[in-house]
Amino acid sequence: MMTTIAITQARNDFSNIVNRAFNINERTIIAKKGKNVAAIIGMEDLDFLKNLEAAEDMVLAEMADEAMKEAGENISLEEMKKNFGRC
């Protein structure tokens, strides 16, 4: 479940938003002047994202290692992360 609310409403209802993130794993998008700027998520979601990033880093590291074995121009892991929007 995902909800979008204005930042002023989030400020007034912060405790309730955090409780819903914890208790029912609700994701809340915070909007400022109509633009989504942040999110409040539960720890379960955060742990999932951390694990996903770690797995992605492993794949990118393997790709970088393979690329280093090939002749021609090489690319570092940091450059590869930039290319995949992970910087």
pLDDT value of residue 51: 94
pLDDT value of residue 87: 59
pLDDT digits (tens, 9 = 90+) for 10-52: 999 999 999 999 999 999 999 999 999 999 999 999 999 999 9
Query: Domains of the chain: which residue ranges?
Result: 2-41, 44-83
Architecture of the domain made up of 2-41: 3-Layer(aba) Sandwich (3.40)
Tell me which long-range contacts 49-53 makes (C-beta under 8 A, separation of at least 24): 53/86
Average pLDDT, the chain: 87
